[in-house]
């Protein structure tokens, strides 16, 4: 059908664009590494033995799930860099409230960064190619600047450019960036598009339903987060 052909063309352009962009970024970053620049910046307090954590926050249920997951992590996961879509005011408020309740009186161990959305709900596949590329261009420098030890995400499309940047840092030998993807509880029978893209790339892909683990053996069943 005409819609299917348009969708396939959009996906093809997206893949070619991302591959080309990654190749350019890899060459540029390699040049910078050789010159000795791009060292870790530490704008927040960072106690010894901690894990610098980048948390990708989605919206709605994604936000609730990721914050519930964060509530079970120890203070070892610090400093925490929350990344949200620039139009998501509600998630920003939830993150501030979560941090003030879990770590009262401590405000120098987390920061919130905003990035462009990779794709809006209902956006056409063709136009999403350009928004994805724009989000990627914005996300890569951010991840390089943060230099996380761990990228934790649970489904929003915003996570793909951020995870790609973490993979590139590992590929270039700058540092090992671990990718942990937690599939949404809404996914009972099939993985989301983000999970499919990261299936062979994430260090750990965690699911909340046992039948998903049975269908996708590289995943790990962890029970329900919520």
* Tens-digit pLDDT profile for residues 67-101: 999 999 999 999 999 999 888 889 999 999 999 99
The residue among 107 and 117 whose pLDDT is bigger is 107
pLDDT recorded at residue 136: 79
19-28, 75-84, 118-127, 199-208: least confidently modelled range: 118-127
pLDDT band (50, 70, 90) for residue 40: very low
15-19, 82-86, 120-124, 199-203: least confidently modelled range: 120-124
Beta bridge partners of 112: 82
Please tell me the pTM assigned to this model. Answer: 0.76
Tens of pLDDT, residues 97-106: 999 999 888 8
| pLDDT at residue 29 is higher than 50 | yes
pLDDT recorded at residue 37: 38
| pLDDT at residue 2 is higher than 70 | no
Nearest to 165 by CA among 17, 25, 43: 25
pLDDT recorded at residue 42: 46
Residues 6+ apart with CB under 8 A from 132: 14, 17, 18, 118, 119, 157, 160, 161
Distance of CA 226 to CAs 15, 71, 208, Å? 34, 11, 9
Give the span between the Cα atoms of 126 and 141, in whole angstroms. Answer: 25
For residue 197, count CB atoms less than 10 angstroms from its CB and return exposed for 0-12, middle for 13-18, buried for 19 or more. middle
Tens of pLDDT, residues 135-192: 778 888 999 999 999 999 987 677 888 998 999 899 888 899 999 999 988 898 899 8
What is the percentage of the chain residues whose pLDDT exceeds 90?
A: 44
| pLDDT at residue 195 is higher than 60 | yes
């Amino acid at each position: 059908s005409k819609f299917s052909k348009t969708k396939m063309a959009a996906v093809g352009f997206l893949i070619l664009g991302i591959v080309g962009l990654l190749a350019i970024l890899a060459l540029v970053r390699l040049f910078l590494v050789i010159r000795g620049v791009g060292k870790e910046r530490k704008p927040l307090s960072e106690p010894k033995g901690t894990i610098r954590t980048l948390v990708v926050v989605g919206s709605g249920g994604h936000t609730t799930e990721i914050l519930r997951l964060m509530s079970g992590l120890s203070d070892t996961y610090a400093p925490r860099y929350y990344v949200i879509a620039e139009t998501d005011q509600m998630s920003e408020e939830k993150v501030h409230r979560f941090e003030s309740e879990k770590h009262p009186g401590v405000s120098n161990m987390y920061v919130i960064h905003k990035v462009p959305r990779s794709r809006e709900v209902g956006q056409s596949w063709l136009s999403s190619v350009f928004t994805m590329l724009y989000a990627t261009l914005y996300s890569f420098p951010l991840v390089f600047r943060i230099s996380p030890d761990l990228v934790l995400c649970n489904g929003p499309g915003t996570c793909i450019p951020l995870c790609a940047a973490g993979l590139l840092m590992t590929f270039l030998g700058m540092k090992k960036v671990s990718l942990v993807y937690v599939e949404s509880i809404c996914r009972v029978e099939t993985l989301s598009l983000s999970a499919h893209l990261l299936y062979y790339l994430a260090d750990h892909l965690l699911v909340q339903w046992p039948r998903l683990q049975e269908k996708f053996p590289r995943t790990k069943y962890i029970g329900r987060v919520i």
